[in-house]
């Protein structure tokens, strides 16, 4: 066992270890499991946001926040009761928590995609497939949120480029001026982003099935 460890260390140092270890081939069934896990993630995300909804300005001064119809229809009928009326500070804090949850959804979704070898540092995105540009947008947002405060920096070329891609592929018209956060609205950004990534995985399944058929011929 010790000799084997020394051999692995030697191969790693020589840059040859990756030549001797074969990655497990991802099969269509694996990717179908991924689709199921993605749906579970969306359900968990929806549950979280039902408990931390985006508050309307007219709720300032109120102590009761009824669940939005969107969440009620999905089985999350949650009513928030505050011991004191909602003020501007609490309103801002609730909005901030909701945005943070949205960022974490992006990170978790991207982690799922990477864990099933949909893309990675060594696996590029196939831009000939449907959903590829949204998969790329997910990857870039994930890298931004996972390796920084997640704030939008108008002086950052990368941040401006991401916002440009969001406008281009999500049909938005968001501007850089006075922006401190990336827009992460559920209906117009996260939901179509999620659907686009699922479409990209479905395309990967189609290709994997074709490859398996060809192998059997």
Q: Rounded to whole angstroms, how far apart are CA atoms 166 and 139?
A: 12
- Cβ atoms of 106 and 183 within 8 Å: the answer is no
Based on its alpha-carbon atoms, the radius of gyration of the chain, rounded to whole angstroms, reads 22
Task: Give pLDDT tens digits for 135-169.
Answer: 999 999 999 999 999 999 999 999 999 999 999 99
Q: Rounded to whole angstroms, how far apart are CA atoms 74 and 93?
A: 25
**What size, in residues, is the chain?**
217
Half-sphere exposure of residue 35: CA atoms within 13 angstroms, side-chain side: 16
Task: Give pLDDT tens digits for 27-44.
Answer: 778 899 999 999 999 999
DSSP state of 61: T
Q: Encode 121-142 in three state secondary structure.
A: CCCCCCCCCCCHHHHHHHHHHH
pLDDT of residue 213: 77
Task: Give pLDDT tens digits for 191-212.
Answer: 999 999 999 999 999 998 888 7
In the predicted structure, residue 170 carries a pLDDT above the cut 90: yes
Task: Give pLDDT tens digits for 36-73.
Answer: 999 999 999 999 999 999 899 999 999 999 988 888 88
- Cβ atoms of 30 and 116 within 8 Å: the answer is yes
- Cβ atoms of 55 and 94 within 8 Å: the answer is yes
Higher confidence at residue 93 or residue 76? 93
**Paired tokens of 205:** 């399944």
């Amino acid at each position: 066992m010790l000799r084997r460890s020394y051999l692995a260390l030697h191969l790693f140092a020589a840059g040859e270890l990756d030549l001797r270890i074969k990655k497990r081939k991802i099969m269509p069934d694996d990717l179908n499991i991924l689709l199921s896990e993605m749906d579970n993630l969306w359900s968990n995300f929806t549950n979280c946001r039902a408990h931390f909804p985006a508050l309307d300005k007219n709720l300032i001064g109120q102590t009761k926040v009824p669940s939005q119809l969107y969440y009620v229809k999905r089985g999350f009928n949650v009513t928030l009761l505050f011991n004191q009326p909602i003020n501007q500070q609490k309103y801002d804090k609730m909005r901030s928590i909701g945005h943070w949850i949205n960022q974490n959804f992006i990170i978790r979704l991207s982690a799922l995609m990477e864990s099933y070898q949909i893309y990675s540092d060594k696996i590029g995105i196939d831009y000939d497939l449907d959903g590829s540009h949204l998969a790329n947008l997910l990857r870039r947002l994930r890298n931004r949120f996972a390796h920084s405060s997640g704030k939008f920096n108008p002086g950052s070329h990368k941040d401006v480029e991401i916002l440009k891609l969001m406008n281009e592929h999500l049909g938005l018209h968001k501007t850089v001026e006075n922006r401190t956060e990336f827009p992460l609205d559920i209906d117009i950004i996260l939901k179509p982003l999620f659907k686009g990534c699922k479409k990209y995985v479905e395309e990967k399944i189609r290709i994997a099935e074709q490859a398996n058929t060809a192998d059997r011929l």
